């Protein structure tokens, strides 16, 4: 026995603060196969050319070529097998004969020597590339008047136009009177609505003309019709453009000052010479950028070129002093201008004076309702609601307090009447102040349904005084003073206006649900209240937990509304069912509809189910039923869940035809905010889906859990509104009394906090800059733990949403706009950038929902064999993608062919249909943030698909999907999204067998391999993975989606990842070092490392990584940036695609 135990055992210290663990195995037994970097010469040339287009400064290249560090020999020796057993051809020698062509190597050497001198062919190519880009971007605005000699570009230069037209002429009596508002300008300029100036434009937001007040000469001057400028680029004889600058001239029509055109032309000539002399690159785009965006250059230009048009001034100061003095002069002029009036309406640009006129009109219309018979009839119904008796008390409390808590069970009328109490009180008053009531709802169906109901009660159309706003749909106008909106939409608006302006009354409805959005909104409101003394906040809850909300706002008063007078209802309990039993529910419905009992035989039946999959299963079963099916024409089946469109959700409120009863299959969306008037029976499965966060998966999931007592009471209250009703619980009374929780856990305590942290970062104006997310989220009603917040910040940093200082990155801004997990959001964004959108969306849908494969217990072997037949690239995600695409091709023939294909290949048709629906939702989200051109919605895509798979390829076009079949690129994008979920493959030392022809390496067995994570130690590949039984891996790294702990810790949804995706997308930067004369490239402090014999390859990779990060940052900052046709970025992306495809 050896006494030196350190030579026999390894002390493994996981990162992240975990306790060290002893691995009971010899450290020399298993290591990671060190990979040596090799790059084909043509790929190197592509990358070099792409980088040269971006930067031609040799000094900068020399600075970047310094080796950043030296990796310890001992560290690599202990962790990696350093022997390379692969045979490669490094170079060939070509013996050139007298009449033979020059070898390629010689040509490359000559090109390398001429790197910083453009040949005539190179110059011509760059010029043609620039011309093609200009034609693609500007279309008809770009013309080549003479081939290779004269280009013309028509530009709308607002900054240059405003330099001459933004300020009205001064000094005259007329201009003075106009400034004081005493003289109306003669005539109305083109583009301004004359009806609006008379106070009666009926088109509102839809008007094609500008809505401006008549007595605003400054604004009218700014709205003078703008004419385009003509930028002319001339290439004289013997001009070696872009090594030499062209002649540039800018012109305009006769109404633009000639001296400014002269100054502008001189400025452009100077900038053109500077740009061409610095890097030999095309300059037209740079010149256009200076014209459109660089205001300081215009200020300096006015002073710098003054000597071109004015006589010399002996008192003239230096250029730098002149520039600064002009900046001060402009600042002084602006300070004297009339300050703009703040907006007090939803219509952008509406002035205070016009708002007062509109308010007077609204109050006049309201006064006339006293003689409206229809309104008076509906008013009688409103007064019958329990909340009406508390009207005076509510209005009095709002006059005395900023915050009010109203508690009342669903159905008492608080959601429809309290906002009207506030609105009617303002309309009937003589006050000149404004009123704008915003009511938040947790769901779309609630916002739309309540707005339509309130508008009906006021005998108006939705969009007039009462409107609604949900995601990607708004129904408001300049007259709107009461708007129902989802909580998420209001939070999105607060990113631009964190002071809640122009809202005067904020009503947060259904606060008892304790959603993440409502808790965050309450925290924001509490922060804003001291700054907005005129803001009133009303919290409305359907439970008796009002004291909790009252104490959060410093003891706000509570008004309790008694429950409405409902009919008696009976509660029945059944045996416990751990799973939703559709057969049992059908039997219960049969008894309620046709059985012998004393309950009513009319009215709607409402069934509560956990989620959409259970709704679909029960819907299919009822559709095939001889009595509930469509053929019987006795029942109308209505599914109700959040993924349906607003129009489809509204079907639940429409009355059924005579002699037909509704059967509503709903999630917990029907618990609150909506009331089905004719509901008589409720069947409660007792289950619901809750968003839970599993730290081992680093992903959120929807888990089926038992409902709480509060949920059960809400569901029971849906029955007995118009006649005696029955509620059937599919669980025992013992479970109700002793096992169900009193109320559901607040969402902020059971979900990942990445989205809340992103919101905190977006709302920095509201909080002190020195407040960390830990401090800010600590102000929530029930704050999460510090560990949960810090863990979420770490994950945001890992995906690139936060930088090292914890600040929001451009990627973080877009991820904050996508209501999906941050890694899924990153995957679909990267898919659009690298033009493999459809493939990325399919994988994202599978990761968000589930794999399309099913494994029947009695057919496990056959199902596994079928799944392996779809295997691609040692990747579970690519396997699912391949199977989905095969189903999509089958669906193109008919929906029946798709269903048959799924059944024959052990796939779930319902799951595949859900995946296609998720893909459509992802497309809608990407359109909303600009990564996909157009304005496609989920509903439009569903119609295009016509039940035959999805319509993503058809709707988005071939350009953004041209790399969809490139599996190496797709797995590279997947690596960028899932990183740092990476495991190392540790293999035993190679053993050999002696044969008559020599020693032969024996193949490794799968059971001999080990898999190591950076933070959690050793794991195992799940048996269902396509890589579970693989012994020989060409690469030593695997990315995974989730970890699962049963008898051991498993990783699932795995993909073997090549070398270059890790270097280009993993970690924060590449560290270059030396090891025994070879160059090393490492990320994550050397946890992932590679070697190379070529310094040129190493430095090329380092430079490529830096430039790729900048390109991705530019694209993320400008989602509509066309990388494919970009002069420099497009070449780099194409070169990287070639590298990843052939590595």
- As a residue count, the chain comes to 1143
Q: Give percent above pLDDT 70 in the chain.
A: 76
Q: In terms of C-beta distances under 8 Å and separation of at least 24 residues, what long-range contacts does 180-189 make, across chains too? A: 181/215, 184/214, 184/215, 185/214, 185/217, 185/220, 188/214, 189/220, 189/223, 189/224, 189/225
pLDDT at 191: 63
Q: What average pLDDT does the segment 250-278 reach?
A: 74
Q: Which residues contact 1105 (CB under 8 A, 6 or more apart)?
A: 1063, 1064, 1069, 1070
CB atoms within 10 A of CB 519: 24
pLDDT at 933: 86
- Cα-to-chain-centroid distance, residue 244: 44
Asked whether 1043 and 1019 are in contact (CB, 8 A), the reply is yes
| SS3 assignment for 43-67 | HHHHHHHHHHHHCCCHHHHHHHCCC
- Cα-to-chain-centroid distance, residue 615: 28
Give the helix/strand (H/E) hosting 30: strand 30-33
Q: Which two tokens stand for residue 25?
A: 């195995």
pLDDT at 874: 92
pLDDT digits (tens, 9 = 90+) for 570-596: 788 887 778 889 999 999 999 998 888
Q: Which residues contact 496 (CB under 8 A, 6 or more apart)?
A: none
pLDDT at 701: 59
pLDDT at 721: 66
Q: How confident is the model at residue 223 (pLDDT cuts 50, 70, 90)?
A: very low
DSSP code, position 7: G
pLDDT at 199: 58
Q: Which residues contact 814 (CB under 8 A, 6 or more apart)?
A: 825, 829, 929, 931, 1116, 1119
Render the burial of 263-273: b for 16+ CB within 10 Å, e for the rest. bbbebbbebbe
DSSP code, position 875: B
CA–CA dist 1050, 144 (Å, integer): 63
pLDDT at 494: 83
Q: Which residue has the higher pLDDT, 324 or 554?
A: 554
Give 223: exposed, middle or buried? Use CB within 10 Å, 0-12, 13-18, 19+.
middle
pLDDT at 348: 37
- Please report, to the nearest 10 degrees, the dihedral formed by the alpha carbons of residues 670, 671, 673, 679 taken in order: 60
pLDDT at 478 over 80: yes
pLDDT at 174: 36
Cα separation values, 146 from 130, 140, 151, Å: 16, 16, 7
CA–CA dist 666, 653 (Å, integer): 13
* 260 CB-side CA count, 13 A: 17
Q: Which two tokens stand for residue 866?
A: 């079928």
DSSP code, position 646: H
Helices and strands in the chain, H and E counts = 42, 34
Q: Which two tokens stand for residue 557?
A: 């008063």
Q: Where along the chain do its domains lie?
A: 25-41+976-1142, 120-157+228-279+282-336, 158-222, 352-560, 569-749, 755-798, 810-964
| Strand positions, DSSP E, 367-472 | 403-407, 437-441, 466-470
pLDDT at 3: 34
CA–CA dist 772, 782 (Å, integer): 17
pLDDT at 170: 37
Asked whether 475 and 467 are in contact (CB, 8 A), the reply is yes
CA–CA dist 556, 554 (Å, integer): 6
Q: Which residue has the higher pLDDT, 950 or 103?
A: 950
Q: What average pLDDT does the segment 913-925 reach?
A: 90
CB atoms within 10 A of CB 690: 19
Out of 315-329, 790-804, 892-906, least confident range? 315-329
pLDDT at 280 over 80: no
What strands, in cross-sheet order, belong to the sheet with 142-146?
A: 142-146, 150-155, 229-234, 247-251
pLDDT at 722: 63
pLDDT at 17: 42
Cα separation values, 334 from 145, 215, 303, 338, Å: 42, 19, 18, 8
pLDDT digits (tens, 9 = 90+) for 721-755: 667 788 999 999 999 999 998 888 888 888 888 88
Q: Which two tokens stand for residue 1131?
A: 């070449």
Q: Which residue has the higher pLDDT, 364 or 1049?
A: 364
pLDDT at 417: 93
Q: What is the mean pLDDT of the chain?
A: 78
pLDDT at 598 over 80: yes
pLDDT at 1045: 67
Highest mean pLDDT: which of 158-167, 271-280, 383-392? 383-392
Q: Which two tokens stand for residue 445?
A: 């169906």
Cα separation values, 585 from 130, 576, 611, 836, 934, Å: 67, 13, 15, 44, 44
* R_g over Cα of the chain: 35
What strands, in cross-sheet order, belong to the sheet with 635-640?
A: 569-573, 725-729, 679-684, 604-608, 661-666, 635-640
Asked whether 902 and 887 are in contact (CB, 8 A), the reply is yes
pLDDT digits (tens, 9 = 90+) for 986-1018: 988 888 887 777 777 788 888 889 999 887 788
pLDDT at 1016: 74
Asked whether 697 and 543 are in contact (CB, 8 A), the reply is no
Asked whether 1032 and 1004 are in contact (CB, 8 A), the reply is yes
Alpha helices by DSSP H, listed for 567-630, are 582-594, 612-623
pLDDT at 991: 81
pLDDT at 889: 93
pLDDT digits (tens, 9 = 90+) for 497-521: 778 888 999 999 989 888 889 999 9
Highest mean pLDDT: which of 344-348, 654-658, 806-810, 1097-1101? 1097-1101
CB atoms within 10 A of CB 444: 23
Highest mean pLDDT: which of 597-606, 609-618, 823-832? 823-832
pLDDT at 954: 92
CA–CA dist 698, 1039 (Å, integer): 13
Out of 196-200, 235-239, 640-644, least confident range? 196-200
Q: At 374, is the secondary structure helix, strand, or coil?
A: helix
pLDDT at 759: 85
Q: What residues form DSSP beta bridges with 1000? A: 993
Q: Which residues contact 793 (CB under 8 A, 6 or more apart)?
A: 757, 773, 802, 806
Q: In terms of C-beta distances under 8 Å and separation of at least 24 residues, what long-range contacts does 387-390 make, across chains too? A: 387/412, 387/413, 387/414, 387/417, 387/418, 387/561, 388/413, 388/417, 390/559, 390/561
pLDDT at 172 over 80: no
φ, ψ for residue 103, nearest 5 deg:
-60, 155
Out of 713-727, 813-827, 1059-1073, 1119-1133, least confident range? 713-727
Q: What average pLDDT does the segment 133-145 reach?
A: 80
| SS3 assignment for 818-867 | CCCCHHHHHHHHHHHHCCCHHHHHHHHHHHHCCCCECCCHHHHHHHHHHH
DSSP code, position 996: T
CA–CA dist 635, 655 (Å, integer): 12
Q: Which residue has the higher pLDDT, 427 or 211?
A: 427
CA–CA dist 469, 489 (Å, integer): 7
> What CATH number belongs to 120-157+228-279+282-336?
3.10.110.10
Q: Which residue has the higher pLDDT, 768 or 415?
A: 415
Q: Which residues contact 131 (CB under 8 A, 6 or more apart)?
A: 144, 151
CB atoms within 10 A of CB 748: 22
Pick the CATH number of 569-749 from 3.30.465.10, 3.40.50.2300, 3.40.50.300, 3.30.70.980: 3.40.50.300
pLDDT digits (tens, 9 = 90+) for 28-84: 478 888 888 888 888 888 888 888 887 653 434 434 444 444 444 445 667 777 665
Cα separation values, 980 from 531, 1041, 1065, 1087, Å: 43, 10, 10, 11
pLDDT at 561 over 90: no
CA–CA dist 349, 212 (Å, integer): 8
pLDDT digits (tens, 9 = 90+) for 621-670: 999 998 998 888 899 998 888 766 556 677 787 888 888 999 999 988 88
Q: At 179, is the secondary structure helix, strand, or coil?
A: helix
CA–CA dist 416, 285 (Å, integer): 56
Q: In terms of C-beta distances under 8 Å and separation of at least 24 residues, what long-range contacts does 116-120 make, across chains too? A: 116/56, 116/58, 116/280, 118/240, 118/242, 118/243, 118/280, 120/240
Q: Which two tokens stand for residue 609?
A: 């189910």
pLDDT at 974 over 80: yes
pLDDT at 867 over 70: yes
Q: How confident is the model at residue 1139 (pLDDT cuts 50, 70, 90)?
A: very high
Domains 120-157+228-279+282-336 and 352-560 share a fold: no
Highest mean pLDDT: which of 272-286, 369-383, 489-503, 995-1009? 369-383
CA–CA dist 181, 956 (Å, integer): 52
> What CATH number belongs to 352-560?
3.40.50.300
Q: Which two tokens stand for residue 595?
A: 């059985």
Q: Which residue has the higher pLDDT, 878 or 1023?
A: 878
Whose structure tokens read 């799951």? 911
pTM over 0.85: no
DSSP code, position 230: E
């Amino acid at each position: 026995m050896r006494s030196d135990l350190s030579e026999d055992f390894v002390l493994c210290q996981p990162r992240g603060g975990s306790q060290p663990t002893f691995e009971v195995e010899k450290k020399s037994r298993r290591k990671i196969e060190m990979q040596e970097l090799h790059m084909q010469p043509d790929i190197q040339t592509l990358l070099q050319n792409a980088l040269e287009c971006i930067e031609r400064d040799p000094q900068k290249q020399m600075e970047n070529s310094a080796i950043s560090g030296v990796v310890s020999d001992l560290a690599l020796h202990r962790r990696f097998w350093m022997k390379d057993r692969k045979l490669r051809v490094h170079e060939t020698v070509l013996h050139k004969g007298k009449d033979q062509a020059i070898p390629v190597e010689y040509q490359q050497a000559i090109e390398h020597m001429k790197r910083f001198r453009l040949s005539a062919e190179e110059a011509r190519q760059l010029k043609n590339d620039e011309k093609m880009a200009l034609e693609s971007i500007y279309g008809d605005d770009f013309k080549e008047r003479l081939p290779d000699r004269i280009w013309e570009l028509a530009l709308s230069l607002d900054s240059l136009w405003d330099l001459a037209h933004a300020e009205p002429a001064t000094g005259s009596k007329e201009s003075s009177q106009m400034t004081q508002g005493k003289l109306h300008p003669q005539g109305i300029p083109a583009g301004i609505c004359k009806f609006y100036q008379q106070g009666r434009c009926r088109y509102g937001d839809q008007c094609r003309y500008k809505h401006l007040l008549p007595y605003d000469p400054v604004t009218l001057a700014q709205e003078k019709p703008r004419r385009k400028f003509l930028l002319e680029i001339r290439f004289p004889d013997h001009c070696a453009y872009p090594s030499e600058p062209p002649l540039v001239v800018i012109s305009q029509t006769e109404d633009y000052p000639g001296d400014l055109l002269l100054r502008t032309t001189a400025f452009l000539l100077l900038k053109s010479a500077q740009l061409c002399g610095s890097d030999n690159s095309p300059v037209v785009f740079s010149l256009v950028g200076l014209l459109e965006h660089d205001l300081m250059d215009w200020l300096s230009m006015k002073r710098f070129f003054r000597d071109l048009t004015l006589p010399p001034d002996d008192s003239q100061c230096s250029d730098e002093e002149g520039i600064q003095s002009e900046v001060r002069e402009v600042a002084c002029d602006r300070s004297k201008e009339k300050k703009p009036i703040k907006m007090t309406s939803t219509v952008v640009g509406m002035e205070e004076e016009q708002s007062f006129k509109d308010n007077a009109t609204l109050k006049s219309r309201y006064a006339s309702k006293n003689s409206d018979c229809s309104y008076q009839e509906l008013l009688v119904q409103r007064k019958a609601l329990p909340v009406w008796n508390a009207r005076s008390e509510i209005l009095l409390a709002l006059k005395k307090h900023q915050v009010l808590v109203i508690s009342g069970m669903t159905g008492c009328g608080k959601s429809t009447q309290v906002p009207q109490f506030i609105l009617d009180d303002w309309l009937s008053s003589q006050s000149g102040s404004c009123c704008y009531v915003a009511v938040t709802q947790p769901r779309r169906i609630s916002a739309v349904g309540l707005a339509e109901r309130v508008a009906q009660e006021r005998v108006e159309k939705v969009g007039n005084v009462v409107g609604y706003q949900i995601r990607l749909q708004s129904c408001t106008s300049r007259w709107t003073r009461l708007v129902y909106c989802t909580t998420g939409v209001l939070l999105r608006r607060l990113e631009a206006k964190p002071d809640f302006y122009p809202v005067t009354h904020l009503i947060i409805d259904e606060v008892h649900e304790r959603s993440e959005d409502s808790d965050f909104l309450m925290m924001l409101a509490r922060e804003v209240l001291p700054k907005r003394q005129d803001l009133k906040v009303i919290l409305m809850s359907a439970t008796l937990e009002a004291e909790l909300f009252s104490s959060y706002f410093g003891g706000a008063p509570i008004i309790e509304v008694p429950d409405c007078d409902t009919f008696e209802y009976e509660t029945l309990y059944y045996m416990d069912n751990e799973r939703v039993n559709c057969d049992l529910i059908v039997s219960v419905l049969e008894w309620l509809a046709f059985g012998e009992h004393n309950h009513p035989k009319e009215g709607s039946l409402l069934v509560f189910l956990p989620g959409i999959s259970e709704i679909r299963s029960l819907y299919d079963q009822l559709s095939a039923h001889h009595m509930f099916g469509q053929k019987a024409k006795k029942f109308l089946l209505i599914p109700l869940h959040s993924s349906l469109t607003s129009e489809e959700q509204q079907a639940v409120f429409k009355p059924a035809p005579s002699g037909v009863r509704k059967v509503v299959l709903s999630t917990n969306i029907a618990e609150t905010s909506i009331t089905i008037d004719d509901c008589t029976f409720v069947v409660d499965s007792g289950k619901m889906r809750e968003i839970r966060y599993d730290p081992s998966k680093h992903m959120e999931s929807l888990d089926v859990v038992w409902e709480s007592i509060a949920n059960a009471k809400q569901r029971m209250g849906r029955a007995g509104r118009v006649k005696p009703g029955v509620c059937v619980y599919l669980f025992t009374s013992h479970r109700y009394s002793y096992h169900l929780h009193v109320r559901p856990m607040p969402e902020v305590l059971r979900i990942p906090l990445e989205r809340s942290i992103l919101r905190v970062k977006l709302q920095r104006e509201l909080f002190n800059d020195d407040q960390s997310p830990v401090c800010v989220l600590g102000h929530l009603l029930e704050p999460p733990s510090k560990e949960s917040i810090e863990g979420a910040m770490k994950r945001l940093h890992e995906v690139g949403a936060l930088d090292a200082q914890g600040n929001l990155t451009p990627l973080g801004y877009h991820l904050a706009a996508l209501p999906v997990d941050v890694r899924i959001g990153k995957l679909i964004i990267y898919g659009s950038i690298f033009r493999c959108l459809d493939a990325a969306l399919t994988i994202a849908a599978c990761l968000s929902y589930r794999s399309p494969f099913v494994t029947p217990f009695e057919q496990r072997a056959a199902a596994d064999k079928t799944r392996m037949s779809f295997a691609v690239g040692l990747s579970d995600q690519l396997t699912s993608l391949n199977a989905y695409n095969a189903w999509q091709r089958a669906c193109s023939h008919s929906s029946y062919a798709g269903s048959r294909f799924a059944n024959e290949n052990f796939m779930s048709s319902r799951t595949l249909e859900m995946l296609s629906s998720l893909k459509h939702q992802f497309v809608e989200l990407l359109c909303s943030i600009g990564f996909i051109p157009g304005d496609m919605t989920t509903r439009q895509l569903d119609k295009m698909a016509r039940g035959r798979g999805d319509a993503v390829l058809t709707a988005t076009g071939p350009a953004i999907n041209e790399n969809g079949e490139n599996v190496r690129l797709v797995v590279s994008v997947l690596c960028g999204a899932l990183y740092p979920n990476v495991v190392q493959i540790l293999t035993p030392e190679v053993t050999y067998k002696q044969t008559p022809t020599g020693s032969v390496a024996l193949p490794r067995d799968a059971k001999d391999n080990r898999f190591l994570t950076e933070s959690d130690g050793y794991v195992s590949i799940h048996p269902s993975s396509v890589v579970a039984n693989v012994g020989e891996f060409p690469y030593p790294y695997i990315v995974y989606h989730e970890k699962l702990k049963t008898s051991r810790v498993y990783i699932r949804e795995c993909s073997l990842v090549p070398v270059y995706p890790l270097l280009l997308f993993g970690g924060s930067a590449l560290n270059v070092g030396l090891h025994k004369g070879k160059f090393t490239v490492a990320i994550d402090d050397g946890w992932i490392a590679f070697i190379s014999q070529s310094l040129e390859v190493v430095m090329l990779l380092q430079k490529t990584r830096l430039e790729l990060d900048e390109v991705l940052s530019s694209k993320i900052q400008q989602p509509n940036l066309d990388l494919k046709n970009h002069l420099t970025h497009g070449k780099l992306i194409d070169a990287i695609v070639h590298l990843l495809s052939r590595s």
